[in-house]
Amino acid sequence: MHGSLRIVEQCSSDLTAYATVPIAFEVCEVLDARALEALSCGMPFESTPLNRTWIKDYDTCPGHHPTEWPDKFDLTEWIFLGAFRDAVRMGCAAAVAGASARELLDHSSDAALLWDLRVDPRTRRSGTGSALLARVEAWALARGARRLCVETQQINVPAFRFYVRHGFRLIRASPGAYPAFPDEIRLILEKKLEA
């Protein structure tokens, strides 16, 4: 690849460009009840491969596309980041801190929330996600957060592994949290932030 990776802050009015990076992924393994039990005890886990795979695209779910966020949320305390190599957008991230994070997290005044992290499928595993996450962590610390939380699902094993590799731990698994997707389990992970 040419050029170095640049992480730049972007405006919430530019969410159409943000959304050009797809968030879709192939579901080919899941974290089953045994894996979640092991994780809750701090033990190693193994995913379960699926016989039938499918593509999950959160952007196609009503209310979840980035261009719909301004209609659902006050984006005042949010940050939007773009990762570029030369002029090519490699990935994006969105995070929220302060009172808006407390509303979304239903607790704790010392946490920020990583709302969205996406890397172009053609460039995944290139360090883009790690660079975006590091920038979000620095931003959250500067706003007084001592913890960073993120939500994923038991069907998104690559994302879960990514967060665990970066120091996050599972703090809550909530079956039935998504009425439109009854087979998906909401997973909340957190990482303690240090200056």
Query: Over the stretch 157-192, which tens digit does the pLDDT of each residue have?
Result: 999 999 999 999 999 999 999 999 999 999 999 999
More confident residue, 122 or 67: 67
Which tokens sit at 51? Answer: 């016989």
Total domains, the chain: 1
The identity of residue 55, as a single letter, is: I
Pairing state between β 111-119 and 88-96:
antiparallel
Query: Over the stretch 139-162, which tens digit does the pLDDT of each residue have?
Result: 999 999 999 999 999 999 999 999
Neighbours of 153 (CB within 10 A): 22
CATH number at residue 85: 3.40.630.30
**Domain around 66:** 5-192
CA 130, chain centre distance (Å): 12
